[in-house]
């Protein structure tokens, strides 16, 4: 066996033992023999990592992209403002139109999704536009009212949307759940029924205005001790007594629109009521103060509004 040039012929083997004739016929063990044994059960080449599925293509995918376009949604929402009737008809966040939500259909849709509501995008908005025109025509011909007298109440959280954008989805969803846990029993405890949840707000109906008043005051008292991520929820509310038209479990019509617009005009912790509603409240039990300035689209010009509270 030839001797490597960098080791003298009489030097001992590197492993420190003398080699005999049998060693000449034995292949030397690899330096990483233990590693080779450890890797014996592994394939020579690992499979490639899984790849994300390719984006869907085709007519349905293109239609879905158009329907979910925020730019088109904002455009259709602006076009609805030029149609007859209430441009906020069917909007799940119509009571929160003021402030940072005014004119932002895509932001309202994001908050509705956060609250677990289904939103239909551009096609849904176009359908609501058609219903808006139909409702306006029905009201002008006297066919837009129901047959039962009810007090319609709307509420929403003051400053919620701005806070939610900074606090994040987890904190916002936690707050909405806790607020719902306060409003629901406050309504049912005063002979009312929650019709639907509207993002950060609510629509409810009562037989008498005084029950709606008591429910709002009860809710405000309970919310006074609540705080989530530095935000203390305060509601504003508005109510109107009339004959809303019942459609399934929901209500439509001018009386619903009036209640929603009255709620929009309320301040923090305030409950506003239309003049027709105030007439049904006992002045010895309820204090009222007229709001001098109140004008809203979809509300008859003769409607006046009062801030009300228990004495």
Rounded-to-integer distance, Cα 52 and Cα 40, Å: 31
Nearest C-alpha neighbor of 238 from the set 95, 98, 100, 101: 95
Rounded-to-integer distance, Cα 89 and Cα 87, Å: 6
pLDDT at residue 90, as a whole number: 57
Dihedral (Cα; 104, 114, 203, 278), 10-degree rounding: -60
Which spans in the chain are helix H?
21-24, 33-38, 59-67, 70-80, 105-114, 121-140, 160-167, 169-188, 209-223, 254-264, 275-278
pLDDT at residue 131, as a whole number: 66
Cα 236 → chain centroid: 18
Largest CA distance in the chain: 121
Q: Which two tokens stand for residue 236?
A: 């504003």
Nearest C-alpha neighbor of 70 from the set 114, 109, 19: 109
More confident residue, 46 or 271: 271
Rounded-to-integer distance, Cα 174 and Cα 164, Å: 11
pLDDT at residue 296, as a whole number: 76
Q: Give the CA radius of gyration of the chain.
A: 35
Per-residue pLDDT tens for 214-270? Answer: 999 999 999 999 999 999 999 999 999 999 988 888 888 889 989 999 999 999 999
pLDDT at residue 94, as a whole number: 41
Helix-helix angle 160-167:169-188, to 10 degrees: 140
Per-residue pLDDT tens for 151-184? Answer: 999 999 999 989 999 999 899 999 999 999 999 9
**What architecture is domain 63-310?**
2-Layer Sandwich (3.30)
Lowest mean pLDDT among 71-80, 111-120, 164-173, 219-228: 111-120
Do 233 and 265 form a contact (C-beta atoms < 8 A)? Answer: no
Q: Per-residue pLDDT averaged across 76-94, rounded? A: 65
More confident residue, 284 or 254: 284
Render the burial of 149-183: b for 16+ CB within 10 Å, e for the rest: ebbbbbbbbbebbebbeebeeebbeebbeebeebb
Could you tell me the residue ranges of all domains in the chain?
Answer: 63-310
Q: Which two tokens stand for residue 24?
A: 């000449």
Per-residue pLDDT tens for 6-41? Answer: 555 555 555 555 555 545 455 554 545 455 445 545
Greatest mean pLDDT among 15-19, 62-66, 76-80, 190-194: 190-194
pLDDT at residue 68, as a whole number: 75
Nearest C-alpha neighbor of 305 from the set 278, 259, 274, 284: 274
In this structure, what DSSP letter does residue 91 have? -
Name the burial class of residue 58, with classes exposed (0-12), middle (13-18) and buried (19+) by CB atoms within 10 angstroms of its CB.
Answer: exposed
Q: Which two tokens stand for residue 114?
A: 């956060």
pTM of the full structure: 0.61
pLDDT at residue 301, as a whole number: 84
Asked whether residue 92 carries a pLDDT value surpassing 50, the answer given is no
More confident residue, 100 or 169: 169
Asked whether residue 101 carries a pLDDT value surpassing 50, the answer given is no
The average confidence (pLDDT) of the chain is 77
Name the burial class of residue 2, with classes exposed (0-12), middle (13-18) and buried (19+) by CB atoms within 10 angstroms of its CB.
Answer: exposed
């Amino acid at each position: 066996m030839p001797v490597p040039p960098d080791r003298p012929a009489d030097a001992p083997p590197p492993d420190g033992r003398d080699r005999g004739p049998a060693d000449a016929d034995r292949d030397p063990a690899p330096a990483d023999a233990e590693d080779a044994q450890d890797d014996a059960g592994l394939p020579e080449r690992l499979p490639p990592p899984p790849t994300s599925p390719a984006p869907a293509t085709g007519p349905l995918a293109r239609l879905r992209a158009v329907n979910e376009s925020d730019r088109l949604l904002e455009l259709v929402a602006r076009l609805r403002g030029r149609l007859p009737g209430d441009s906020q008809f069917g909007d799940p966040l119509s009571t929160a139109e003021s402030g940072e939500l005014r004119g932002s259909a895509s932001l309202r849709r994001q908050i509705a999704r956060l609250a677990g509501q289904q939103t239909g995008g551009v096609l849904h908005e176009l359908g609501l536009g058609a219903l808006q025109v139909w409702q306006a025509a029905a009201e002008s011909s006297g066919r837009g009212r129901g047959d039962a007298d009810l007090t319609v109440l709307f509420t929403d959280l003051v400053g919620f949307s701005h806070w939610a954008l900074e606090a994040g989805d987890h904190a916002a969803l936690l707050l909405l759940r806790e607020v719902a846990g306060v409003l629901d029993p406050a309504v049912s405890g005063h002979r009312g029924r929650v019709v639907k949840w509207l993002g950060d707000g609510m629509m409810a109906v009562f037989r008498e205005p005084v029950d709606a008043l008591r429910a709002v005051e009860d809710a405000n008292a309970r919310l006074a001790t609540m705080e989530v991520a530095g935000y203390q929820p305060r509601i504003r509310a508005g109510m109107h007594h009339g004959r809303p038209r019942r459609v399934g479990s929901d209500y439509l019509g001018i009386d619903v629109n009036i209640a929603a617009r009255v709620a929009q005009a309320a301040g923090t912790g305030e409950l506003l009521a239309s003049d027709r509603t105030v007439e049904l409240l006992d002045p010895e039990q309820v204090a009222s103060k007229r709001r001098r300035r109140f004008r809203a689209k979809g509300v008859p010009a003769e409607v006046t509004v009062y801030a009300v509270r228990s004495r």
